[in-house]
């Protein structure tokens, strides 16, 4: 979905490294990304954002030892299933907080770090809730609020942050999902009645936002 198309757009740029952390190991995708621009070193590490903070920090130690410097962290994991209340919050918000907290160990200028940039994937539901999926919507509102705080701490930590908040995008996520307490049986169908965008259009704008790199931007 959005993550893959964004990766395709990123490797077209003048990157040195792209590191992908995901639950799903897909060698064909990694090979495709390497082929797009052989000058970019693409690496994959298995990772689930719901693991405890200590595990995230351990993985980042491995990555920083390998690369020495990391400039940008993109928090892009997300699920849309209000039947899975705890997992929705864990993936969409808690995991994002943990990866941010963990990378601060390496970036925080108070610890001699170089600073860095955090790009968090929110959603338009963070401002205008889809009431049939209140858990998902609230998790995205939390992302926006948390990111605004990180941005305002940039003078303390040296770490800037912003959110990219896509509208309805044509991905598997929105084709079929469960509403909270089954309050709406046609929520996916109703959602897709609104204007949508492709994952490619979303990804291209996503990369533009990273290039603009405006602290606190929404």
| Catalytic residue positions, numbered | 136
**Residue labelled with tokens 């908040």:** 165
Give the 3-state DSSP-derived string for 22-91, with helices as H, strands as E and coil as C: ECCCCHHHHHHHHHHCCCCEEEEEECCCCCCHHHHHHHHHHHHHHHCCCCEEEECCCCCCCCCHHHHHHH
Q: For residue 197, which phi and psi values (nearest 5 degrees)?
A: -125, 160
Q: What is the C-alpha separation between 40 and 152, in angstroms, rounded?
A: 32
């Amino acid at each position: 979905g959005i993550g893959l198309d964004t990766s395709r757009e990123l490797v077209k740029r003048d990157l040195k490294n792209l590191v992908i952390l995901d639950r799903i190991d897909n060698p064909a995708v990694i090979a495709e990304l390497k082929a797009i621009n052989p000058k970019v070193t693409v690496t994959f590490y298995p990772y689930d954002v719901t693991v405890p903070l200590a595990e995230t920090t351990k993985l980042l130690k491995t990555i920083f030892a390998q690369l020495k410097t990391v400039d940008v962290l993109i928090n892009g994991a997300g699920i849309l299933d209000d039947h899975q209340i705890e997992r929705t919050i864990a993936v969409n918000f808690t995991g994002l907080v943990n990866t941010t907290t963990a990378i601060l160990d390496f970036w925080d200028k108070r610890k001699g770090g170089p600073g860095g940039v955090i790009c968090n994937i929110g959603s338009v539901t963070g401002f205008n809730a889809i009431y049939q999926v209140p858990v998902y919507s609230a998790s995205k509102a939390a992302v926006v609020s948390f990111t605004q705080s990180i941005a305002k701490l940039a003078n303390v930590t040296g770490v800037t942050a912003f959110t990219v908040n896509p509208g309805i995008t044509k991905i598997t996520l929105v084709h079929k999902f469960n509403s909270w307490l089954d309050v709406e049986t046609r929520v996916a169908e109703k959602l897709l009645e609104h204007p949508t965008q492709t994952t490619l259009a979303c990804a291209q704008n996503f990369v533009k936002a990273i290039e603009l790199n405006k602290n606190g931007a929404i």
